[in-house]
Amino acid sequence: MSQLSGPEIKHTLRKLEFPLCAKEALTKIGQLLISNRTPTLKHMDLALDLMAELVFCEVDRRGNKRPSPLTSIDELQLIDALYDYFNSTANETSRNSVFLSLFSGTTAMMRLGVLSKLVSIAVGVPSPPILISASTWMQQLGNTSPNSIQLAKALVRDYFILAPNTVPKLKILPKIAPQFVANFLTAVANIYFCDGKKDLFTFPPQCLLETITFWIKENPGLCIAAQQMQPSLPQGAIAMEATTPFAGLLKWCILASIYNQDFDLYGQLHLGLISSILEIPVLTTPRAISAQHLVVPAGSIHRYALETHSKLKRGEGGDRQKLFKEDQTLQLCLDRFAQAVQVALSVKCVYGNIEDLFTQLQQLPQNRLLHIVIGTHKQNK
Amino acid sequence: MSHTTIRNVQQQDVIYELKAFIGGSTQDTKCNHVDLAKTALSLLKTLPAARDAVLEYFCVVFNSATQNFIVRLETEIATGQLPPASEEDETIISEIHTVISSFVSLNAESWAPIISTWSLELLGELSTRYAGRAHVSSGVNETLQLWMSCRATRTLIDITTQCLSSLIHSDTEACINALLDTSVKHSPNFDWVVAHVGSCFPTTVITRVLSCGLKDFCQNKSYEQGCDSPKIKSVVGILGHLAGSHCDDISTALLDLFTWSLQPPSLQEAEDVKPQKKATVPFLLQLAYLSPTLLVAMCKDIKSILTLDVVIKLNNFIDDWCKYFGSPEALQDFIVNLIIKCDVGGVQIINILLDCIFIGKCENEVVKERIKSTANEMLEYILQEIDLLIRTQIQQPNTSINILDSFIREAEDLHEILLSSERIKLKTACRIIIFIGCNNPSVLVKSSVFLFKNAKSEEHLAFLMHILTNELLDKTREPYVEKGGHFAVVLDQVFGKMFEKTSANDGIIIDTHRMWKNLLTLLQWEKSDQIPLLRSKLISRAIYANLTSLTRAFGSNKLEHDEYHTVAELLDLLDLPSPEGHQSYTIPIEAILNFTFATVNYFFVCCRETDVTTKFIGYTRTYNILKRLTLHSKAAKMRALRELLERALFTDDKLLFGAQAESIISYNGGEKLLLDQNRKNNKTIPLTKNSSVLNGGVIGSGKRKQFDSNGLSKETVAENMEQFIRAIKACCELPWGEENKTVDLSLDSLTSVSLLLVQFISPDVMYNGLPWPEEEFCKVTIERDFYIRRLFNNTPLLWELLSLVAVYRPTLCYCSVLLRAITATLLHQWNSTSDQSKTADIEKYNAIMDTTIKVIDIMSLGQLLPPPLSGIRDVIPYLKCSEIVQVLRDCIWNYMRDHVPSPALFTCDASGVYWRDPTLARPPDIYTTTLRIVMQQNIKTVGHLYSHMFINIPQVE
């Protein structure tokens, strides 16, 4: 079969009915991408053509866009084929390379529907091979990239919004696919408590928060899982550094109180995160938390302080600092911020411009613990 | 390790299910559908990612269930037998329903939008696919019934309503949008779904549908785009369906939307609200243009919505609207077209425009002027447009003009404008009524009746004439032409109503006097000959046509005094019946009789009138009319005389002429009927011949008392009597052209008067002949003689009448019986009167004497007693009672007995006067001897008379 030329392969495959042709095409694509150590440009093109025409059915045989997309059942058949293919491919590298080609940076957006359903099913079944590939995909495209966030959103919708009854099943997910969960957490952390365009904050659903807290408390190493195991990539590919979910999730806990989301859960999550940070092995080059990411909540705190101040200005007009000191929610928020910074610094896992972090911290409203943390830092310098 | 095993088992299950589902749903193999559905539902729970595919599969399931249902129905139609429903379908669908509905109820916020979109889309597809099969889609209701009897579609509808109701407070927008989109796609087959969903949540659906429509409408930049938008059509369709049962909700929603658009945009509102507010009114107009039902909903209560304040507010938006419609003219055209299409609220709209024209308070003068001029312009435009439409309609009779229907329905409101004092309002209302009248003369007549009855100024009447003579009206139309024109019908209704009112309910007081005055004014206008519109004698023709009822009204006793005078003036002015008789109009006899009766009635009204001028004008009118009537018709003459006499002699009217009112005589315990008293006597006293209670008094109560009953002064009584005599004379006038100098009245007529007197006064028909019998015979007639005498005593007017009759000889002859009765009673009385009574009971004596003189006077006046017998009146006051008896008996009675008082005694001279030559008719000595002897015996006192009576007698030359 490998001797056949491109057009011949296409011709043969076109004779097959839909789900079957996709299955055969996938095998072919796998062969094209993996058999040779470095696939030739010609092979790459053929593989891409096969994907578009025979797998995803986006174009017809002449390369024109097909007017009607796949029906949902057809799509499910395709997902089934993809599922079978990936599960039957034992070699992680081959699997990852096919996965990355199917959902490359240029085509991911278009195929995101299929991708998120595939991953969602992989989560639901569950299927570690696919989850590992998905994790690799997220990492390679950047786990905070729009694509990853879209995928995370789809998964949250499927399992935490539409089918909360499946949540208990998900509790063992970190055991099955820790890297995937780590990357997923990083993406999810960026969905909520985020400055959107219209200044509208959204908050995570309760069951999502519960699950995350559970995951982190039960698996202290979960957050750095993606960093600890390098994905198997095709030859020549550059491995991308995974961002840990620490900074993003800490932001939730820090900001929760000033957005009146102060359930007990955030406290628990905070504790879980702090404990997880303490477990991070000390490295010569810190890579777990970026100072730049860690400082993000400061902006929201500033804005909150300003609003509170202007609201009460007319009434008292008096001491700004006193006002802030008496504001319990603000103090709780600053306490958590200080704790996070202190712990992260103590295990030396913060990288980037730490000085800038402190400059920003100094400008925040007064807080005793924060004051101490800043003082300590100055002394250590 | 345990983890792994669990995982594997779980993994096996889920994957097995997924594959089973894929296998089952893609292959047409005969797998177990129930199991497959269960698998699908389980997938829905475990793998939410598969939901699209699962729902797609359910589409197939529902489709086949629906198809089975339709096929069953078709079989039934073909064979008459309904095959049993597939149990499998039922099970599967109920299974699906349970699961989906539990999803929605547990987690509405997430599932409801997905499920409702799916179910709506599926419903749309199914409705379209099976449209026209197994049923004829004639209306939404039938379609609804068909689909509600199908398990599959009913389940879908249930699911949809469940979704909507769970979202009703949070996110209806999404659901309604889906509803609208589907409706756009599958209209009209989808309408039943909208209708059903709409009637489940009318308020929400209506509000939402409107707001979705508005949002879509805002996307359009211009009118042309707005018309073609499929969404607005769908909005119209949905609202149209709901209008049937939820018209009020729609009205409220439209009103809310309108009020919302008028509120100044607040700061919190999003940016896109501002254009929406601007577009609201064009949107509403567009809706109204597309759907007559919505137009109705909007116009129903437009009066309370478009107040002047609102109009002033609207002014701020005008420029934007003009931009939307292209130009101010286009906007105006559009609105005017809409107004003309209104089925309801037409009058309200006109009222609003009129109010705008008379806008009073407005801070900004420029705005005020603008509103005024625009309203004026619009009003004129509308009226002209209707005018044009009507003229085209005359050529093409099958078109209908909606606003006219609304005008007809709201004619009551129109009437209010009709009475306005503002000329423009009045004019507008008149034009509208003319428009209505074009096709609907009955409404025109109704309005004319109203205007006619209530017109307060001459201007109103002028407009009434304007309406009735307008060229747009088809005056040849039946039944109006038969009845004598529109105005005749108007009068007909007015009089008809008047009788109804007086008979049925007196609660509503209608100013009938105004109506009479109005009619009079109109007639005066016509008679003045100054007004070209009335040259056709419209008014008098109408009155002729209604003369019977008009005269009947005039004769009724329900009118006020003033009204009688007005009507009398009117009828007098009418100059009916014409003496020349050259008018083509012949008065029906009933009208003549009514008229006569009424005029007599009017005479008595005049007698009671307090204002002297009015009274005398009234008398003159009465005489004029009576003269015309009696000359016109003998029947009228008889009726008039009879009525006059009867009323003056026997009814309460007699009090006017100084008569005694017997009815007020009352004894202790009220009046006792003679009959009753006699009956009482019958029981207690054994029957003897003369056991009757006589009129002289009542046993036990003493003599009957005389009452000076009424407070009328002697002058008034005399005045009344004089006028009465003039009235009688008016009835006895000679025809025009036959008057001569000596005789001014018709003797025939006076003979009638004379006969009538006998008829009325004499209690029975016996012994009414002219001859006087033997005095002995008076014993037989004594009772009736006394009866007659009493009438004369109580009724002074009778003497006047006798005098009148006596003057016009020989008519008194016919009253012979009355004279005889009086004379007989006098004889009787004088016989029983002693000479002492001359001093003892002077009153009684004087009364008898007075009567004696009067009767002799009258007989002399009528030349029944020739000289010297005629001189007895002067003699008797000097005589003793016994002598008076002698004279009365020997001279008068015997003379009369032997010379029957008949017209044969009289001769007619050259000038037509009847008389008896006193020189030739001198009575023989046998009748004068007694007189002579008695006079001689009393020569001391009657000497001067004696020479005059017996010595210086004129001789025949």
Which residues of B664-727 form beta strands (DSSP E)?
A: 697-698, 702-703
- Identify which has the larger pLDDT, B192 or A86: A86
Give the Cα separation of B275 and A36 in Å (integer): 63
Which chain A residues have a beta carbon less than 8 Å from that of B112?
none
Tens digits of per-residue pLDDT, A41-86? 888 888 888 888 888 888 888 878 887 778 888 889 999 999 999 9
Residue A72 in contact with partner chain B when CB distance is under 8 A: yes
Do residue A121 and residue B50 have CB atoms under 8 angstroms apart?
A: yes
Cβ neighbors of A51 (< 8 A, separation 6 or more) are A25, A29, A101, A102, A107
Confirm if B315 and B371 have CB atoms less than 8 A apart.
yes
Tens digits of per-residue pLDDT, A115-172? 999 999 999 888 899 999 999 999 998 888 889 999 999 999 999 988 888 888 888 8
What six digits make up the tokens of A355? 């000085």
Which chain A residues have a beta carbon less than 8 Å from that of B52?
72, 75-76
Establish, for the pair of chains A and B, how many residue pairs have beta carbons separated by less than 8 Å. 77
Spell out a b/e string for A106-131, using b for 16 or more CB atoms within 10 Å of the CB, else e: ebbeebbbbbbbbbbbbbbbbbbbbb
pLDDT at A180 over 50: yes
CA distances from B514 to A185, B448, B453 (A): 94, 14, 7
Beta-sheet pairing, B702-703 with B697-698:
antiparallel
Question: Which of B160-174, B538-552, B626-640, B825-839 has the weakest average pLDDT?
Answer: B160-174
- Look-up of token digits 């010569």: A284
Cα of B194 to nearest chain A Cα, Å: 27
Cβ count near B81 (within 10 Å): 8
Give the Cα separation of A205 and B46 in Å (integer): 19
Cα of A121 to nearest chain B Cα, Å: 6
Which chain A residues have a beta carbon less than 8 Å from that of B21?
76
Give the Cα separation of A276 and A5 in Å (integer): 54
Do residue B48 and residue A76 have CB atoms under 8 angstroms apart?
A: no
Give the Cα separation of B851 and B862 in Å (integer): 17
Note the pLDDT of residue B311. 81
CA distances from B539 to B458, B523, B548, B625 (A): 15, 6, 15, 20
Tens digits of per-residue pLDDT, B497-510? 766 655 444 444 55
Residue A306 in contact with partner chain B when CB distance is under 8 A: no
Residue A150 in contact with partner chain B when CB distance is under 8 A: no
Minimum CA–CA partner of A161 in chain B:
B110
Do residue A165 and residue B45 have CB atoms under 8 angstroms apart?
A: yes
Residue A176 in contact with partner chain B when CB distance is under 8 A: yes
Confirm if B534 and B461 have CB atoms less than 8 A apart.
no
Cα of B167 to nearest chain A Cα, Å: 16
Note the pLDDT of residue B332. 86
Find the length of chain B.
957
Do residue B26 and residue A120 have CB atoms under 8 angstroms apart?
A: no
Note the pLDDT of residue A82. 92
- The single-letter DSSP state of residue A238 is P
Note the pLDDT of residue B703. 55
Do residue B56 and residue A116 have CB atoms under 8 angstroms apart?
A: no
Question: Which of A213-227, A335-349, B462-476, B849-863 has the weakest average pLDDT?
Answer: B462-476
Do residue B111 and residue A80 have CB atoms under 8 angstroms apart?
A: no
Give the Cα separation of B925 and B945 in Å (integer): 18
pLDDT at B880 over 80: yes
Do residue B56 and residue A72 have CB atoms under 8 angstroms apart?
A: yes
3-state SS class at A59: strand
Question: Which of A26-40, B481-495, B870-884, B891-905 has the weakest average pLDDT?
Answer: B481-495
Cβ neighbors of B169 (< 8 A, separation 6 or more) are none
Question: Which of A177-191, B265-279, B758-772 has the weakest average pLDDT?
Answer: B265-279
Do residue B14 and residue A124 have CB atoms under 8 angstroms apart?
A: yes
Confirm if B569 and B615 have CB atoms less than 8 A apart.
no
pLDDT at B687 over 50: no
Cβ neighbors of A68 (< 8 A, separation 6 or more) are none
Cβ count near B136 (within 10 Å): 8
Q: How many percent of chain B have pLDDT more than 90?
A: 2
Q: Which amino acid is located at B800 in the chain?
A: E
Beta-sheet pairing, B907-908 with B914-915:
antiparallel
Instruction: Work out the mean pLDDT of chain B and round it to a whole number.
Output: 79
Cα of B157 to nearest chain A Cα, Å: 22
Do residue B110 and residue A158 have CB atoms under 8 angstroms apart?
A: no
CA distances from B51 to A226, B91, B219, B362 (A): 31, 21, 34, 63
pLDDT at B780 over 90: no
Note the pLDDT of residue B2. 40
What six digits make up the tokens of A100? 């990355």
pLDDT at B839 over 80: no
Do residue B26 and residue A166 have CB atoms under 8 angstroms apart?
A: no
Residue A213 in contact with partner chain B when CB distance is under 8 A: no
Average pLDDT, stretch B347-355? 84
Give the Cα separation of A220 and A275 in Å (integer): 7
Note the pLDDT of residue B710. 56
- Report cis status (omega within 30 of 0) of the bond before B479: yes
Give the Cα separation of B806 and B816 in Å (integer): 11
Which chain A residues have a beta carbon less than 8 Å from that of B53?
72-73, 75-76
Note the pLDDT of residue B3. 45
Kindly state the helix (H) or strand (E) to which residue A253 belongs, with its residue range. helix A246-256
Confidence class of residue B679 from pLDDT cuts 50, 70 and 90? low
Instruction: Work out the mean pLDDT of chain A and round it to a whole number.
Output: 85
Distance of CA B47 to the CA centre of its chain: 79
Do residue A72 and residue B53 have CB atoms under 8 angstroms apart?
A: yes
Note the pLDDT of residue B508. 47
Q: How many percent of chain B have pLDDT more than 70?
A: 84
Question: What ipTM goes with this model?
Answer: 0.88
First vs last Cα of chain A: how many Å apart? 67
- B44 phi and psi, to 5 degrees? -60, -35
Out of A125, A157, A172, the one facing B14 most closely (by C-beta) is A125
Which residues of B lie closer than 8 Å to A, measured between beta carbons?
A: 3, 7, 10-11, 14-15, 18-19, 21-22, 25-26, 45-53, 55-57, 107, 110-111, 114
Of A297, A199, A204, give the one whose Cα is nearest residue A246. Answer: A297
Do residue A120 and residue B47 have CB atoms under 8 angstroms apart?
A: yes
Give the Cα separation of B383 and B513 in Å (integer): 34
Out of A71, A76, A126, the one facing B22 most closely (by C-beta) is A76
Cα of B399 to nearest chain A Cα, Å: 50
Give the Cα separation of B343 and B353 in Å (integer): 17
Average pLDDT, stretch B762-768? 79
What six digits make up the tokens of B303? 């009066």
Out of B26, B53, B110, the one facing A161 most closely (by C-beta) is B110
Of B328, B282, B295, give the one whose Cα is nearest residue B403. Answer: B295
3-state SS class at B745: strand
Confirm if B159 and B152 have CB atoms less than 8 A apart.
no
Spell out a b/e string for B529-553, using b for 16 or more CB atoms within 10 Å of the CB, else e: eeeeebeeebbbbbbbbbbbbbbbb
3-state SS class at A65: strand
**Half-sphere exposure (CA, 13 Å, Cβ side) for B667?**
14
Residue A68 in contact with partner chain B when CB distance is under 8 A: no
Query: Hey, which residues does B908 pair with through a beta bridge?
Result: B914
Do residue A124 and residue B55 have CB atoms under 8 angstroms apart?
A: no
Do residue A162 and residue B51 have CB atoms under 8 angstroms apart?
A: yes
Tens digits of per-residue pLDDT, A194-226? 765 545 678 888 899 999 999 999 998 888 888
- Identify which has the larger pLDDT, A69 or B928: B928
Substitution target in B1, B3, B7 with the highest count of A β-carbons within 10 Å is B7
Do residue A116 and residue B49 have CB atoms under 8 angstroms apart?
A: yes
Tens digits of per-residue pLDDT, B407-451? 888 777 778 787 777 888 888 888 888 888 777 777 778 888 888
Cα of B318 to nearest chain A Cα, Å: 34
Residue A77 in contact with partner chain B when CB distance is under 8 A: yes
DSSP annotation string for B875-912: HGGGS-HHHHHHIIIIIIIHHHHHS---GGG-EE-TTS
Average pLDDT, stretch B721-734? 87
Confirm if B538 and B469 have CB atoms less than 8 A apart.
yes
Tens digits of per-residue pLDDT, B294-348? 888 888 778 788 888 888 888 878 888 887 788 888 888 888 888 888 888 888 8
Cβ neighbors of B265 (< 8 A, separation 6 or more) are B273, B274, B277
Cα of B12 to nearest chain A Cα, Å: 8
Give the Cα separation of B13 and B19 in Å (integer): 10
Out of B11, B110, B111, the one facing A125 most closely (by C-beta) is B11
Do residue B52 and residue A161 have CB atoms under 8 angstroms apart?
A: no
Tens digits of per-residue pLDDT, A275-307? 999 988 887 788 889 988 998 888 888 888 888
Q: Computed over its alpha carbons, how large is the radius of gyration of chain B?
A: 50
Give the Cα separation of B303 and B355 in Å (integer): 11
Threshold 0.90, pTM exceeds: no
